[in-house]
Each structure stands twice: as C-alpha cells, then as structure tokens.
Amino acid sequence: MPVPPRAQPPSRIQIERPAPLVDCGRYPAKRTLGDVVTVSADVFSDGHDVLRAVVRSCAPGADGWREAPMQRIDAHVDGDRWAGEFEVSELGRWTWTIEAWTDAFASWRDELGRKLSFGQEDLSGELSEGAVLLQDAARRAEGADRKLIQDALTLLTDPATPAQAKHETALGPELFAAVARHPDRHESTVMEGGLHVEVDRVRARFGSWYELFPRSWGGLKGVAEQVPKLAELGFDVLYLPPVHPIGHTNRKGPNNALRAGADDPGSPWAIGDETGGHTALHPELGTFEDFDALVRVAGEEEIDIAMDFAIQCSADHPWLTEHPEWFNRRPDGTLKYAENPPKKYQDIYNVNFACEDWRGLWQALLDVVLFWVGHGVKVFRVDNPHTKPIAFWEWLIAEVRRHDREVVFLAEAFTRAAMMRTLAKVGFSQSYTYFTWKSGRHELIEYVVELATSGMQDFYRPNFFANTPDILTAELVHGGPPKFASRLVLAATLSPTYGIYSGYESFENVPVKPGSEEYLDSEKYEAKERALDGPLLPLVSELNAIRRANPALQRLDNVLFLGTENDALIAYAKRTGDNTLICVVTLDPVHGQEGSVMIPFELGLPPAFTVTDLLSGEQFDWRMGPNYVALDPFRVAHVLRVER
Amino acid sequence: MPVPPRAQPPSRIQIERPAPLVDCGRYPAKRTLGDVVTVSADVFSDGHDVLRAVVRSCAPGADGWREAPMQRIDAHVDGDRWAGEFEVSELGRWTWTIEAWTDAFASWRDELGRKLSFGQEDLSGELSEGAVLLQDAARRAEGADRKLIQDALTLLTDPATPAQAKHETALGPELFAAVARHPDRHESTVMEGGLHVEVDRVRARFGSWYELFPRSWGGLKGVAEQVPKLAELGFDVLYLPPVHPIGHTNRKGPNNALRAGADDPGSPWAIGDETGGHTALHPELGTFEDFDALVRVAGEEEIDIAMDFAIQCSADHPWLTEHPEWFNRRPDGTLKYAENPPKKYQDIYNVNFACEDWRGLWQALLDVVLFWVGHGVKVFRVDNPHTKPIAFWEWLIAEVRRHDREVVFLAEAFTRAAMMRTLAKVGFSQSYTYFTWKSGRHELIEYVVELATSGMQDFYRPNFFANTPDILTAELVHGGPPKFASRLVLAATLSPTYGIYSGYESFENVPVKPGSEEYLDSEKYEAKERALDGPLLPLVSELNAIRRANPALQRLDNVLFLGTENDALIAYAKRTGDNTLICVVTLDPVHGQEGSVMIPFELGLPPAFTVTDLLSGEQFDWRMGPNYVALDPFRVAHVLRVER
C-alpha cells in the first residue's frame, strides 16, 4: 500500500455500524408506507472537532436526494452514536446513506468558548483564525446571512474594537446560526455503499385475517354474501385455500383416506384436472364473473382477497401433459409424487425447479401469479415456500412487484429458523410463525422478544394465526372456550397481523385422533356447512375494533413485557406516541389467577394514572410499581388503555 | 429482473451469517500463529437433500486453497449451523471461504433407508435412480473405489439379485465411503466474497509487560543490565517511554511545572532538540551501540523491546525548521501548540496530517518506525493514536507489516468506545483498556464479558496495565499492598497480555494531590533511582510462571465468570483443552471475605475433583455446585488448577 494516491488525504471521519442493516446490506430493511424510518450509525473522528451529519434518502426511481439532520444520541453511554429520520411516502425500494463533515467554525467557537470560560485573556491568535473561517463562510453565504457574517468579520478584525465585544460577537448565536446555514461540505464523508429500505403498503404489517374454504360457504357467490358481515367483524383479509380444479387420480378421501368415494371433493391443494390448473376455477365454486365480483365486493369494504399459491400439481393437471419436462421423473420414466418418508402425498407432483426448461417453468409460475393479480388479487399466501428454491422466490416476488408494488406475500413455512428468516429477507412480506406452539409464559416472552428486538423486526413480519386447517394444538383441544379466548387475545394484541381459520370462533377442537394436530373430519378433505355465527365472534369483533383504534397494537417492535408475580398471567405494554396499551392475559383456562402487574419506570407513565379496560369499559386506578389483577376462565384478559 | 440469464438456475444452497466477521468483512478477524481458526455459517437449502460443506483457506501469498470438511453443529437448536476449522501456520493475511454442495447419493441413500425402515416393499423405482447416481460416481472415481462402485452398480441392476441383497449393498457403509471420496461438486455453491484472518505472532496475544524510564536505571546500559532479572521475573516485553532528545523550549519541570529548572530533564514525550528528533537517541541515555546491545541482550532472553511512538514535536525538533509546512499555524504565522482546553501542552506541537505535503509527512513518520524496526524493535506502543487520523494508522501499520510482519502495535487510546474499537480493527495488534477503572465485581465482569464475547474478541486484544505513569487509581492510593496484589492477579489472569509500570512492585501510591491520578514527583518529569527490588516481585514472578505454564491463561475468549455469593469476591474459570484454571480474587483490601464459588455444569468438570492452588501449593477437594472459599488481605487470591 503506497501513500494513498489522492490529492487530499483520506477522510478523518468514520461512519460505522449503520442501522437498520440486514445481513450486511445484502437485503433491505422493511417498512410500510408513511413510516418514519430512524437510521443510526457511529459517526466520529480523531481529535475534538465538531461534526455534522445528515441522513440522505432517495425515493424509488427518484434521482434526487432529500436530507435531514442527524443528532448525537446516548451521549452518556458512548457519545458517537448518531440518529436521523426520514418518512417513506412511496412504495418500493428506498436508498439511504449518511454524509458527515467537520464544522470548522463550530469547532473554533467551541474552543474559544472553553478558553474564555477558563479565563484565558489573550485570544488574538484565536480571533485571527476565526476571521479566516468567517471569510470563507461569507463567500458561501448569501443575502442577510452574508451581511451578518461580513459585519462580524469587520468587527473581529477592527483593532479599535474591545476584546470583550469581539468575544461576544464571535460566540453570538446569530452568527453561529448564519454560518451553520451555509456549511462547508466540500470535504464531507459519505458512508460506503447505500443501504435500502423496502416499503410495502400498510397491509403487509397490520391486518386481521379470516380463512375459509369457499366450498363450505356456497362457493364464491356465497362467500361474497359474507363480506359485509366480515367487514363488520373488522377483518381486513379474507384468505381462500386453492380455488382451482381438484385432481381425480389418487384423490384423498375424508380424514386423508388414500381412496376417495365417488362424491368426495378431494383436497384443494391437489391442484388441476382436465379442465385446467393454476389459472382455472373449480367449476363448483363459480365462474370468473363470480370471482371478480367477490374481489370487487371485498374491495368496497377494503378487504383483501388472499389467494393460496401452492406450487404442486395433481396427476390430472394440464402441465403434466403439456410440460412433462417440468416434473421429477425416475430413470424408468415414471413420475415421482411428492413425499418426505414416511409422509406421502400421492395426489400431488412437485415441479423440478432445476429442470432443463427451468426458465420456462419459472416464467409460467410467475404468469400464474400475474394472472390473479390481473383479477385484483393483491395478497398471496404461499404454501410451503421452504421446499422451493430461495432464489426462485427472490426473483418471483421482485418480478411481481415490478408489475404491482401493492402485492403482499405471506410465507407458510414451518421449518428451521434459518430458512424462515431467509424467506422473509428475500422478499416475503409476512411469515407464519411458531406462535401456535408457544403456550407457556416464558416461551411466549422469549419468542416475541426475539421477533421484536433481535434484528428480526427489520425484516420478519409475523402473522399470528391462532389456528390453521393443519394446526389444532393440544392447548385448544384441552383448554376449551377460555383457551380459545385467551389465545385470540394474545394473537390479536401481540402481533400487528393475526388470523383465525373458520371454526375457531365455534371452539372446534376435536382432533382426528388423540395427540394429532389434524382436525377430525377436516375441511381439507370434505365440504361443511359453515356460517358466521360462532359464540366467539363478539370478542373477535371487539378486538379488531380495538386494534384499529389503537396505533400501539399495529406495531410489534414496541412491546415491553411486564412482571406479573404469577407465571399463569402474562402482561405486556405497547406504546406508540401517546397511545399506551397494557394487556394482561391468563394462560390458565381452568382456575382463577391473581397477580401483580409491574409498571416499570421505562414505560414513561406518570406515578398514578387511569386505565380503561377496552373489553369491559371499566376504569381502574393504576400506578408505577405493582398493580393487582385477577383473571379467570370467564374473564380471560384485560386490554387496558392508559388515559392521559 | 428477467429470468436470471444463466444456463443453470441459481444455486439452491444458502451460505449465510459467516463467522468470524468484523464489520461485514471490512476488517479481518485476528488470530495468532498456530491458532486453529474455527469458522461457522448457516448452510441450508430447500427440501431434504443431504448437504456437504468445506472451509477453504488460502495462506498469505499462496495461490492454492486448502480445504477441510465442515460439520453441522447445534442440531437440536436450529440445525443449520455448520463449523469447520483450519490452522494458521504463517503470519499475514489469510483468506477463507465456504463451499457447499448437494450430495445426491447420500440424499438418495438417506431416503431409501427411511423407506425401508417404514416398511415400503417395492423399491425398484428408487433403485433405478440409485443406479444412475452410481454410474456418475463411477466416472468420477478411480482405482479400488471405482471397482467397488461398479460392482455395486452391476449388482443393483442385475434382475437376478434378490431385493434384500440390493438394499444391503445400496445402504452399505463401504459403498457410501467410496462415493463420498469422489463428490460431484460441479454445481457447488461458494460463499459470496472471501473473508480474512490476520495472523500475528503470539506476542500480539500473550505477554507480560514491564515499563520503565531508562533515565532512572542508568540509561540504556543500565537497562541492559536489568534484562536477566526481568527474564527471571518472567517478563516478555520491556517497554521504554521515548528515548529521544527532549526539547528545551517550554520544558516542563517537576510535577508538570510550567518552568523547568536548569537541571530538570523534561518530559520524554516532548520529542526533539537541535541534536535530533524521532530517529535520535537522548545523549544521556547512551549511543546507538548501547541501544543495539540492549535489543540484542533482550532478544537473547526472548524479551521484546517496545518503543514509544509519539507523533509530536518539541519546539526544538529539527522538523519545525526543516518542514515548517507540516505543523499547524495560525493565520498570523504563529505555531499552535497542542491543547484541549483547559489542558495545554505548551512543550509540544502537533503535526497537521492534512497539510499540503501530507504525503511527505506520512512517509517521514513511516520512515521513523522503519528506522527503529531496522534496529530490531518489533513492538511499538503508540501514544494517543486517537488524536491522529484512523486512515493514517491503517496505512502505516500495513506498510510496516509489508516490511516486517512481526511488528506489534499497541494503541494507547483512552477515549470513547467507537474510536478504541476502530483503531483495533484497522490494525493495532493490542489496545489499552478501561481495566484500571473497573474496580467492582459487577463492572469487572461486564467489561471482561464484553471484551471476550461481544464480537470484540475477534479484533480487540486487551493489554491490562495495572498502572501507568499517567494512571494511579484511587483504588491503589487507598487500598495499599493488598489492593496492589489483587489488581495484579486480576490483570495477569484475566487478560492474556498485561503490564505494570515500574514502582507498582513497590506499592508506590502517592498522588500529586488528593483525587488526582498523577503520581507525586512523577517520573515523567524527573529522573529517579530505580532497582528491581520491590516486595511484590515474588508474586509477579509466580504469576508470570503460572501464565506461561497454563495455556488457559493465554486466551481471553475462554473466560467464564462464576457465582461467589459475595460481591467482594470475584471468581472465573478459564479452560483450554485439558487445562482448566479457577481464579478467585478478593476485592476487599481491608477485611476478610467468605463465599461460595459455584462450579456450573457447563464447565464440563467431573462431579468431584482436586484443585491445586498454584500460588500456595495447597490442594483442595472441589465439586460441582458451591465450594467454600475465604480470602483476606494477606491472601488475596486462589489461582487453582484443576487436576485430572
């Protein structure tokens, strides 16, 4: 390394450890429309010079940068952490960076002030330095500022002016402000490499989901009739399992039986028959006219229709004959159905993402998604994304967003943590989680703290489904209605996005066999008659209304768990601006439980305050420190709003 | 983003979160010669294929890569973390990366085994797949492996062979091993970007330092006479404050007086007079012959001479006349002496690293270091590096290492954390620390845990000086001999590198005034008569011998703090291979203290074991769980070795 071959020496300013940062900048951090993005970094230099820093941000597709000042934070801890913010007012990928420079005039003024306060008398040398700085500043300034700076300069260099007046002028706030408005940034330092923030619409972060099988509700027309009621209940997303034709070959019967009876409808995930595949509708569900009408009616209520995107084909899917090269075959030419021994999925075939015509296959899959986007679908729940290549998802999601930036993707991956994290990083807007299996106080806290504070909050948006057609937990099986209620409160108040699968509101809790998480007579394999009349719906409706009215419940990273002095009670606060909620939930579906909720200093509440239970309407006097609570199976939670 | 324009689809394998990683790879991780470097990463893919991974390493200047297998670790926690290792057998910058691929034969074998164990009977389709894989493997293999694979292939494809025999052959360990020796890596995935490990000599990590002012020991000749005794005491580095001529102008008198008397020698850090500057020796200390003799004598005892590199000049330094353009001047032409109001350093001038001739200045400073390297100096203690540009240090250290890779740099920066961390990252081999000011149990643990486990262990090597000419802490002032002893034990057993400044061994503890950390009649401003006869030297000698004999004390990242049930006692274990030490130190210099040292399961010791106190020679029976200890001002520590 020879002496660096530049005219100027390398910068003295370091800009390090920028945040938010996901995998060293390989992936963008995620935010939603209208968010104020706070960025921070260590910004420092050798010596004692005063530094200035700004965050510069560039909207998607814009050529210009906007900038906002950064401020030193946590001065008492370390002193070199700076933070600034910008609002993301457009969807898409924003770029940001940090620029910092030495403020020579402020440094000089600071030193002059210290010398005066320590009693130094002869400051003529110092004043001569200041004069040079003011000459420079006057050249950069204009109008009134220029005049003010020039006047100060004249005064400082006039031998007749008393020292006292010179010092007062030099240290005056007006001069300081005038110079600060025209900074000398020609030797400023810019952070290496821009970082990215991917901005989704708010639905990617916040929403209440309801999942139903259209065939149990009278097909697409029947579903459309439920929309006003779903809107009244406060749902934002209506998720439909696959609506495509279902294969005949090896069709599954009730309770996953290997042989279906003549009238058995089969699993909607065995996609495709001779009438069509991923871009067709099951004839018994309705027509495209019905589908478009459903999307329209839902849209009028600001409800998104979420479709299932499951990349697998029944033996009767047109692709098997049109594109046999897309599927896995044995050397003897036979097709390989999907399996993970000992599990077998004899009714479906997986595509081979690495087949010779992989480009054609990938494009066809993209075309499927774009087809439904063309029918107004803006949310896709992706089935088992972890069994398909990550690079495929990164490509597909980017392509879809190029066509329509509003599209939201939910990853249904229940697998090891690294895969789940990476799917989120490469583009999935939301992700299923381990929430259903976190039942104890300690494990719930540990898991939510990880989601909210470990760095995951910058790229992983949880969707807390309380149940799914695949997951009926032992807790629900044995806990009965009080457990259904408490898990609902937990899902709806811990996570900005949560969902229930139809039947939850009716406390459906019979497994196919003891110890199984599969429902008995699962709707996956047979049609039911369903209606929106479950006894839990009033609580659902209340919670959804509370979620909409309280911004604190629309975020995850603001959660703070509170001591309860009883492990059967879990308590947490969420605060956003002036909106502070305190939730207390019993984990015991059988016995009454008493405890004390500890309000800590760091929550920033006054010594005494009033809370309103948004579920019961009651008010209580609470205070910093311990607050007595008692919950039981008939009252499973307090959702308390702090009154100011 | 169109479909990726490649013949093959993008890799299915992810290699993420590699470690060690310093600032996203901007800086190398540090290790010392002979270390086994353990690297790890998340390595995973979609689906259930068996993966293989290797770590590839490249020695400095080598063109070839060596590789070693990686293994999955912590399978129960997450399952996707892999680790591997390589030994660094040369000084300099090593490069490493990770390569991973899908093992198609192992994946097939794994699936076949699962199907057999779950009772599937017809496996003919599966066997036809295996035959194709074996054909490929046979093409890659040679010699005996090839024959073994071909024989298996013949058997698997022979219609006459019974299924049972085919299955046994397919699953046999010999076939598996033969195929594994010839992996198909043509679609392997290599981690993006190589990472670096900077390998220093062992002295950069492990060593015992002694600091003395040569003028108090009869100059360079007198110092050379002390070398055998210092070697006997177990010191590895002898650090000398500046040995250059001292300026006359504004020379400081005793106790930092603004005016020096005629016979006052001045501060060695006011470098340079009319006889020379940074490449000259103070005439009263001796000649270059004496200096070279000292380096030689020390070298014979494997002691490094550490020189001070202080970039500042007295008013009489030749550079002020030869290169006036290198110094800060006021607009009126007057020189600016060093200051940080209200502190003033009237006897020294700082250079201007950003002056017009900055290239000439930087080169001259490099030449100073190389001059002393030419005289056999391999260790530099750099004075106040945080007041000079970081880019300068990064350049200078790299340049010096290009000439001599053995040179070690110690950063004497006491400033905010970000600057201290960054100096270490850009190249300083070791760093001063906040250790002297960490006196309580809690703050000591917090600080050492940060140094050892926060990621700092990969780039920041602490040098725990128990005192310095600038730092006489209140603890030492008030704690007397027991405190000197306990702080010595802490420094020598917590940090692989530690040091004392001459006088520590004699319990020197009188400050220039109450509350000051400056010594009364500091050696910085006057010469003393010194000898190696302090009452603490026997303990120093014992500790240095214990440090050399026990590898566990030569590392930092192996420290585990132990409960003591008494905040006046601190206890910690260090383990390296079979060598486990348990240190217990009292923090109370006045009263006796009792407590229980908790031996946790994670230390991996048997339920009961014997420990030998390496300071007293006594043996004790210890066990998992609590172990009674009692220490007092006459016995301030146990340094216990676990016997196996």
ipTM of the modeled complex: 0.92
The pairing of beta strand B81-87 with beta strand B71-73 = antiparallel
CA-to-CA distance for A610 and A622, rounded, in angstroms? 6
Dmax (CA) for chain B in angstroms is 109
The pairing of beta strand B593-599 with beta strand B497-501 = unpaired
CA-to-CA distance for B593 and B587, rounded, in angstroms? 9
Q: Could you report how far apart the first and last alpha carbons of chain B are, in Å?
A: 62
Provide, as residue numbers in chain A, all residues whose Cβ is less than 8 Å from the Cβ of B356.
none
Q: Which of B78, B114, B340 sits opposite A342 (nearest CB)?
A: B114
Q: Which residue of chain A is at minimal alpha-carbon distance from B359?
A: A3
Q: A433 to chain B, minimum CA–CA distance in Å?
A: 15
DSSP result, A563-577: --SSTTEEEEEEEET
Find the mean pLDDT for residues B418-447. Answer: 97
- Inspect the interface and report whether the beta carbons of B17 and A23 lie closer than 8 Å: yes
Q: Which residue of chain B is at minimal alpha-carbon distance from A356?
A: B8
Closest CA to A425 of A95, A80, A21, A126: A21
Q: Number of Cβ pairs closer than 8 Å across A and B? A: 158
Indicate the Cα dihedral angle A484, A486, A490, A491, nearest 10°: 10
pLDDT confidence of residue B6: 61
Residues of B identified as active-site? 383, 412
Q: Does position A35 have pLDDT exceeding 70, yes or no?
A: yes
Provide, as residue numbers in chain B, all residues whose Cβ is less than 8 Å from the Cβ of A8.
354
- Inspect the interface and report whether the beta carbons of A359 and B3 lie closer than 8 Å: yes
Q: Which residue of chain B is at minimal alpha-carbon distance from A131?
A: B331
CB contacts under 8 A, B 176-215 vs A, are 192
Find the mean pLDDT for residues B134-158. Answer: 95
The pairing of beta strand B29-32 with beta strand B195-200 = parallel
Strand order, beta sheet including B36-45: B13-19, B36-45, B81-87, B71-73
Residues B210 and B237 sit within 8 Å (Cβ to Cβ): yes
The pairing of beta strand A619-623 with beta strand A608-613 = antiparallel
| Interface residue A161 vs chain B (CB under 8 A) | no
Q: Does position A203 have pLDDT exceeding 70, yes or no?
A: yes
CA-to-CA distance for A306 and A285, rounded, in angstroms? 16
Q: B515 to chain A, minimum CA–CA distance in Å?
A: 20
pLDDT confidence of residue A6: 61
Q: Which of A42, A118, A389 sits opposite B341 (nearest CB)?
A: A118
pLDDT confidence of residue B633: 97
When the pLDDT of each residue in chain A is averaged and rounded to a whole number, the result is 95
Residues B315 and B349 sit within 8 Å (Cβ to Cβ): yes
Least confident range from A6-10, A625-629, B610-614: namely A6-10
- Inspect the interface and report whether the beta carbons of A419 and B8 lie closer than 8 Å: no
Q: B8 to chain A, minimum CA–CA distance in Å?
A: 7
- Inspect the interface and report whether the beta carbons of A9 and B354 lie closer than 8 Å: yes
CA-to-CA distance for B474 and B476, rounded, in angstroms? 5
Reading the block at residue A143, the tokens are: 């109008």
| Interface residue B529 vs chain A (CB under 8 A) | no
Q: B529 to chain A, minimum CA–CA distance in Å?
A: 36
Q: B131 to chain A, minimum CA–CA distance in Å?
A: 9
Reading the block at residue B22, the tokens are: 């310093």
CB contacts under 8 A, A 76-115 vs B, are 78-81, 111, 114-115
User: What letter represents residue A577's amino acid?
Assistant: G
Q: Which residue of chain B is at minimal alpha-carbon distance from A11?
A: B391
Q: Which residue has the tokens 């400044």?
A: B501
Q: B198 to chain A, minimum CA–CA distance in Å?
A: 16
CA-to-CA distance for A173 and A152, rounded, in angstroms? 12
Find the mean pLDDT for residues B599-624. Answer: 97
Element of type H or E holding A468: none
Least confident range from A193-202, A416-425, B119-128, B135-144: namely B119-128
DSSP result, A574-614: EEETTEEEEEEEE--SSS-EEEEEEE-GGG---SEEEEEET
| Interface residue B118 vs chain A (CB under 8 A) | yes
Q: B190 to chain A, minimum CA–CA distance in Å?
A: 15
Q: Which of B4, B129, B387 sits opposite A47 (nearest CB)?
A: B387
Length of chain A equals: 644
pLDDT tens readout for residues A527-547: 999 999 999 999 999 999 999
Tell me the Cα Rg of chain A: 31
User: What letter represents residue B76's amino acid?
Assistant: H
Closest CA to B447 of B460, B600, B565: B460
| Interface residue A449 vs chain B (CB under 8 A) | no
Q: Compute the Cα dihedral for A148, A150, A153, A155 and give only its sign.
A: negative
In this chain, the answer to whether the domains covering A13-102+190-199 and A105-180 adopt an identical fold is no
Output DSSP code: residue A50: P
Distances (CA, A) of B339 to A14, A115, B250, B346: 23, 10, 14, 8
Distances (CA, A) of B584 to B367, B463, B559: 47, 21, 13
CA-to-CA distance for B236 and B208, rounded, in angstroms? 5
pLDDT confidence of residue B230: 98
Find the mean pLDDT for residues A45-59. Answer: 94
CA-to-CA distance for A45 and A584, rounded, in angstroms? 48
User: What letter represents residue A385's amino acid?
Assistant: P
Strand-pair partners of A431: A411, A462
CB contacts under 8 A, A 471-510 vs B, are none
Which residue spans within B300-390 are E strands per DSSP?
Answer: 304-309, 337-340, 343-349, 379-383
Q: B12 to chain A, minimum CA–CA distance in Å?
A: 5
Closest CA to A425 of A448, A378, A393: A393
Reading the block at residue B42, the tokens are: 């998340």
Find the mean pLDDT for residues A323-346. Answer: 82
Give the list of residues 6+ apart from residue A421 with CB closer than 8 angstroms, or none.
A456, A459, A460
For B284, phi and psi rounded to 5 degrees?
-75, -15
Q: Does position A205 have pLDDT exceeding 70, yes or no?
A: yes
pLDDT tens readout for residues B313-345: 999 999 999 999 999 888 877 788 888 777 778
- Inspect the interface and report whether the beta carbons of A129 and B331 lie closer than 8 Å: yes
Provide, as residue numbers in chain A, all residues whose Cβ is less than 8 Å from the Cβ of B416.
44, 78-80
Residues A216 and A528 sit within 8 Å (Cβ to Cβ): yes
Q: How confident is the model at residue A3 (pLDDT cuts 50, 70, 90)?
A: low
Q: Which of A362, A363, A417 sits opposite B78 (nearest CB)?
A: A417
Q: What percent of chain A has pLDDT over 70?
A: 98
| Interface residue A14 vs chain B (CB under 8 A) | yes
Q: Which of B79, B125, B418 sits opposite A332 (nearest CB)?
A: B125
Q: Which residue of chain B is at minimal alpha-carbon distance from A359?
A: B3
| Interface residue A332 vs chain B (CB under 8 A) | yes
Q: How confident is the model at residue B1 (pLDDT cuts 50, 70, 90)?
A: very low
- Inspect the interface and report whether the beta carbons of B131 and A331 lie closer than 8 Å: yes
Residues B189 and B16 sit within 8 Å (Cβ to Cβ): no
Q: Which of B340, B362, B391 sits opposite A48 (nearest CB)?
A: B340
CATH of domain A215-548: 3.20.20.80
CA-to-CA distance for A472 and A435, rounded, in angstroms? 12
Q: Does position A1 have pLDDT exceeding 50, yes or no?
A: no
- Label residue B210 exposed, middle or buried (CB < 10 Å: 0-12, 13-18, 19+): buried
CA-to-CA distance for A530 and A216, rounded, in angstroms? 6
| Interface residue B47 vs chain A (CB under 8 A) | yes
Report the SS3 class of residue B1. coil
| Interface residue B535 vs chain A (CB under 8 A) | no
Structural class in CATH, domain B13-102+190-199: mainly beta
Q: Does position B408 have pLDDT exceeding 90, yes or no?
A: yes
Q: Which residue of chain B is at minimal alpha-carbon distance from A43?
A: B418
Q: Does position A105 have pLDDT exceeding 80, yes or no?
A: yes
Q: Which of A26, A80, A422 sits opposite B418 (nearest CB)?
A: A80
Q: Which residue of chain A is at minimal alpha-carbon distance from B385?
A: A46
CA-to-CA distance for A234 and A545, rounded, in angstroms? 6
- Inspect the interface and report whether the beta carbons of B330 and A111 lie closer than 8 Å: no
Report the SS3 class of residue B526. coil
- Inspect the interface and report whether the beta carbons of B48 and A340 lie closer than 8 Å: yes
Report the SS3 class of residue B577. coil
Q: Does position A121 have pLDDT exceeding 90, yes or no?
A: no
Q: Within a 10 A sphere around the Cβ of B192, how many other Cβ atoms?
A: 12
Residue to mutate among B15, B46, B400, B414, with most A CBs inside 10 A, is B46
Domain B105-180 annotated CATH 1.20.58.80:
yes
Q: Compute the Cα dihedral for B388, B389, B390, B392 and give only its sign.
A: negative
pLDDT tens readout for residues A127-154: 999 999 999 999 999 999 999 999 999 9
- Where are chain A's structural domains? 13-102+190-199, 105-180, 215-548, 559-643
CA-to-CA distance for A386 and A398, rounded, in angstroms? 17
pLDDT higher at B337 or A302: A302
| Interface residue A334 vs chain B (CB under 8 A) | yes
Q: Which residue of chain A is at minimal alpha-carbon distance from B118?
A: A342
Report the SS3 class of residue A621. strand
| Interface residue B357 vs chain A (CB under 8 A) | no
The pairing of beta strand A637-643 with beta strand A619-623 = unpaired
Give the list of residues 6+ apart from residue A147 with CB closer than 8 angstroms, or none.
none
Report the SS3 class of residue B627. strand
Output DSSP code: residue A101: E
pLDDT tens readout for residues B437-493: 999 999 999 999 999 999 999 999 999 999 999 999 999 999 999 999 999 999 999
Q: Does position B2 have pLDDT exceeding 70, yes or no?
A: no
pLDDT confidence of residue A76: 55
Give the list of residues 6+ apart from residue A359 with CB closer than 8 angstroms, or none.
B3
Count of alpha carbons within 13 Å of A356, Cβ hemisphere only? Answer: 4
| Interface residue A388 vs chain B (CB under 8 A) | yes
| Interface residue B74 vs chain A (CB under 8 A) | no
Superfamily of domain B559-643: Golgi alpha-mannosidase II (2.60.40.1180)
Buried b vs exposed e over B122-160: b needs ≥16 C-beta within 10 Å? Answer: ebeebbbbbbebbebbbebbeeebbebbeebbebbeeee
Provide, as residue numbers in chain A, all residues whose Cβ is less than 8 Å from the Cβ of B23.
16-17
- Inspect the interface and report whether the beta carbons of A416 and B46 lie closer than 8 Å: no
